[in-house]
A and B are shown apart, each in its own frame.
Chain A
Amino acid sequence: MRRFFLVCFFICGLCGCASVHNDVLGTSQSQVQMRNYQSRSFDTNDKAMVMRAVISTMQDLGFIIDRADEKLGIVSGTSFSHASKLTVSVRVVNSKQIIVRANAQVGLKALEEPIAYQNFFNALAQSLFLEAHEVE
């Protein structure tokens, strides 16, 4: 009987570990897949200009800006209307290109719908007057 409880306890412990592991590190898609639809490159090397355009676009989309860091190239915001949080990172890859990556969560779930990111990059491209290229 004691052994039975010990086994039950051990199994419960394992289940707990699996769940926490999934919550912390789990994704439903591969890193490459996600980066593909969450990133776009723009033909410019003006990081500050792109970051200001990101902020402006997020404001146009109804986001409240929570924080921004020019050095790290990060802007985070919250949208009350969509109950979502969005973080956008901007990084210079070479003298001619900048990669912008966005990732969002809606409610308690990660947003994994490429169409939503497509909409965001369309709005950003409009604000930048630049064409958004898919990142290979």
Chain B
Amino acid sequence: MKKIFCLLCWSVIVLSGCVSYEHYYKLDENYLARRQLETRRFETQNEELLLISSAQVLQDLGFTLNESETKLGLITASKDREAGSSGEKIGIMILAALVGTQAVYDVNQKIYVTLVSTKSHDAKGYNVRIEFARIIWNNFKQARIEKIQDKKIYTDFFDKLSQSVFLTAHNI
């Protein structure tokens, strides 16, 4: 017993010493693809209009603005929403009842947005980059965090932003 305990302690010490930080804050091979997905160029010299239009779209989508720093072209926002559809939850509950286990399903979520505008390299326009991430809580109050990488979400957002730039420019 004593031997096993000592072995366990030794392995815990060795394992905790093995945490490697070499991969921390290192660019991975997908960062350019990710940047491309999250960025859209707008042919305008008016950064203020672009940021106002962005804030308008975020309001259209029900986000609450948390932070803004116009000198850096930054807006952050978030919103709380229910997670998963009712049908999905009922399906999980039925399945869990049949198997005889406790049903685990998502209950609510907080969606975060970071939007940054930067001058394009040729200085003729502005690039807007947006990132979506969310924290999801299940019915046991356990949380999981994920970055949203769905291409359609980004495409649809930028389409809405293009429309908003037009609407805002025309005071609509």
Contact = CB atoms under 8 A, between A and B. Distances in A.
A66 B147 CA distance: 15
B136 to A, nearest CB: 12
Interface stretch (B24-32, B81-89, B151-159): B24-32
Contacts of B73: 52
B74 A120 contact: no
A52 B118 CA distance: 7
A119 B112 CA distance: 26
B35 A60 contact: yes
Interface stretch (B50-58, B64-72, B96-104, B162-170): B64-72
A55 B74 contact: yes
Contacts, number: 84
Contacts of B24: 82, 84, 106, 111, 113, 115-116, 119
A119 B133 contact: no
A65 B66 CA distance: 11
B116 A65 contact: yes
Interface residues of A, number: 34
Interface string A56-67: 100111101111
Among A64, A84, A113, A115, the most chain B Cβ lie within 10 Å of the Cβ of A64
28 contacts: A52-B118, A55-B72, A55-B74, A55-B116, A56-B116, A59-B35, A59-B114, A60-B35, A64-B76, A64-B114, A65-B74, A66-B76, A67-B69, A67-B76, A68-B72, A68-B74, A70-B69, A75-B72, A80-B133, A80-B146, A82-B25, A104-B25, A106-B24, A113-B21, A115-B21, A116-B25, A119-B23, A122-B26
Interface of B: 21-27, 31, 34-35, 38, 67, 69, 71-74, 76, 112, 114, 116, 118, 129, 131, 133, 145-147
